[in-house]
Amino acid sequence: MRLTELHIGQIARISSLEDSPFKEKLQEMGCIPGVLVKPILRAPFGDPIAYELEEYTLSMRNKEAFSVIVKPLDPLFNSK
């Protein structure tokens, strides 16, 4: 599943990053395999989206977030 497919409040763990022009930048910003991520705010027209990555908030455009592969956690851990 891609990061762009998560709903607001849905928690997932980053599995991998696809090769893209954004890969190195995303890794430097903390998008590495094993990190928990949760979309928390969406701009009025849907782009960009603010994500909570463990200890901080990161805003990404859909074209950047599309290259992040995630595995959703059990719905028990999700919040709205």
Q: Which one has a higher pLDDT value, 75 or 23?
A: 23
pLDDT per residue as tens digits for the range 29-76: 999 999 999 999 999 988 899 999 988 999 999 999 999 999 999 776
Whole-structure pTM value: 0.84
- Concatenated DSSP letters for the chain? -BGGGPPTT--EEEEEE-SSTTHHHHHHTT--TT-EEEEEEE-TTS-SEEEEETTEEEEE-HHHHTTEEEEEPPGGG---
The domain in which residue 45 lies consists of 3-77
pLDDT-derived band at 17 (thresholds 50, 70, 90) equals very high
Q: Determine contact, residues 58/30, Cβ cutoff 8 Å.
A: yes
- Count of domains forming the chain: 1
Query: CATH number for the domain including 69?
Result: 2.30.30.90
Cα Rg of the chain, angstroms: 11
